Structure 1
Amino acid sequence: MTVSRARLALGALILVAATAVLTYAATVNVYVQRLETRLDAFGEVADHPVFRRLLDVIGYVRRFYVEEVPLDQLLEGAVDGVLQSLDDPYTVYYDAEAYESFEISLTGEYEGIGVVVTTVDEYVVVQTPFPGSPGATTYPDNHDGVSPPGLRAGDRILEVDGVSVVGMPVERAASLIRGPRGTTVRLTVERPVEGAPPQVLYFTIRRQSIEIPTVQQADMVTPRIGYLWLTQFTPDTPGQVREALKRLRDQGARAIILDLRNNPGGDLSASVQVASQFVPAGPVVHVERRGGERETYSARGGGLGLPLVVLVNGGTASASEIVAGAIQDYGSGTLLGEQTFGKGSVQTVYTWEDRQGRAAVKVTTARYLTPKERSIHAVGLTPDVEVPGTPEQQGDPQRDPQLRRAIELLEQRLGG
């Protein structure tokens, strides 16, 4: 092996060996682990015939391709290929630019349109549009005059400003959607329609500064029923929920509606602490890692002690499904609405820094089960009471049929 080829092998090995998201919402620095990972992988990978084939392919492309190709481009492509082979949209590599966008998405404050996107098959799909954001309130250019505004959970984004994002890594697509406030982005969207061909919509959305609150609303919707709307789970969420519930009780609440619609999740620990305020002492979620290793997170509280309805839909995902699943398993409340998203996996982010800048790999490291050991991954939770439909105004009983049905259900339980 020549010196140049040895260099190429080592560079490719380092990147390929990096294979090893965000419910934990924790970034792990792995400078020492990175070295250990390289050493562990070296013996296994260096003499593998497929790895030698990879080096041959890179060598032939570098030497004979009709145009000169930067080595960085080939090696970055090799890294993407390793992760794409897992067929797991939540295991993702971030180069310096993509990692910067990823960090922005974790702050809860950024400039964009206010939607969470994920990958389903080869498509970039809307997981959650945040209430009140441009993405949730803008009508499509080809609006039919009847449908509510905004992107919806399940919408497929086909193009961003004329650039196809089909097959594109989700963080790269998200970076195209974000941009300075006041600027516009044009999205071509395919919306599934039950029993009919998909509907193609065109959105021109003006970007804004996006700040995502945890408790969007905590009000009395009737003299006896309190309404609590959560948009995500952060370390501050458990305390804010505790305060909101106390305030609602002080105002005379004898029943609670917990709204987890379009809640993409967030911090695992926060979701367990929130669930503890609604379910009795016992397991909230089981986290299973490779090899069958299991860790159980449990509630220590005594539950809510009031009639409870939990509103869910296709944008209810991850940590919010942990809370909803625990409530359903314990029978502590009634799930009402539509099938949830079905993200039942746990990711960990590993970061490092080298001469090319900061980079990271987000890896699925576990899957979670509900207290009764149900897996909801790629399936979701089925509500106890199915009420379809997208509300014209979430949180407004006059314009939100799911909320209105929840009020009716609780009024029946409370009686005269």
Structure 2
Amino acid sequence: MLDFGLRSLVSLLALGGSLLPASSWASPLKLHNDVRADSWPYGPLVTSGRDMKNARGDNVVYAGTNWPGHGEVMIPDGLRYQSIESIVTKIKSVGMNAIRLTYAIQMIDEIYANNGKDTTVKDSFTKALGQTNGPKFYSDFLAKNPSFNDSTTRLEVFDAVAAECLKQKVFVHLDNHMSKAAWCCSTNDGNSWFGDRDYNVDNWARGLSYMANHGKNWPALTSMSLRNELRKPDGSASSSYNWQNWYTNIKKGTSAINSANPDLLIFLSGLDFDTYITPIVQNTALTPGSGKFSTADFEGYTNKLVLEIHNYQNSANNCNSLKSSLYNSGFQALHADDSKTVNVFPVLLTEFGFDMSGNAWQGTYATCIASYLAEQKAGWFIWVVSGSYYIRSGRQDYEETWGLLKHDWSDWRSSAYIEGGLKPLAKATAQG
């Protein structure tokens, strides 16, 4: 559990960042910015060609896991079974140095709708899980995390995760996974694309600003993404699904983050469930228009932009073909020597994964991904740390067989993979 001094710090940080009105964002509370370059994470981070670097000039490579917090309860999963400290300790113990922490814009929308006041965790559990299981899960949550109480808010839980990550030197990458809190992703979930049923663009940009500003009080927070797995929606918003509209909205999102917190790296994700971002790398036309990506559109923070893609080609049976696919989908941006590479960026594989209940980790997909990331010295986040979710797709206490941890988050689901696959991958890539 968190000790008394750290609990006090978490409480102070929560007061300093979560409820600031928009009018105060120009001069927010800064508790750490003056000393960040002299202590871990030696920030702020910047990009230099294909690399992410800290303020000392060292390369930084994320090697981590996804930790979901975008579900209906709207706090990081797993805390009914284990403490924040124990989960972060598990992540750190195998050589991973980063988490991709997800959240839903709905959380920020509700804060605004409630005159700047966040919902308590107690109420959030009940609203998400009902009058029977909500209080039960919440009781479990308190038992495992006794520094919290009935007045603890959702954002204070995020604060505590960030504080523990600072304590254990684990980078926090904050990811907007959904607008409406729920399991992701499908083409008919209303969250697929800008202007989709539940994807209000203005609220999205406001939410990015809010979390970027709030994150000024998280020294471990070094980067944010704009949106998880943009995809063609089934509804009327499908008519605007193209690279041209992607660019319009990406500029709005990056500006929202950078204006609120210029210290952060900003991750740009591509189309088709973020499986490719090639037009940015090769600087081809952003169709259906003829315009192209231009660094002039990101004046003042071009050294803050990073590319990310996902890959779930789990049926791959040819490693060379899989590596070629990864290269052509985005990792080409690491290679300034390629004549087709116009824009050089750091590139991360922010989602990949497979079933942990069998021997998939020894198959072509898992071993090839690992070898490629090691060869490229590229950053990554495996999906997923979760052994279970509070709720997923309507099912409570959902078992996640792709989870690194067992159902109760107490130990690794596949110790063979941890020793034979994950630890070697982390050792071959993690820096910073």
TM-score normalised per structure 2: 0.31
Larger % of strand: which? 1
TM-score normalised per structure 1: 0.32
Q: Higher relative contact order at CA 8 Å, sep ≥6: structure 1 or structure 2?
A: 2
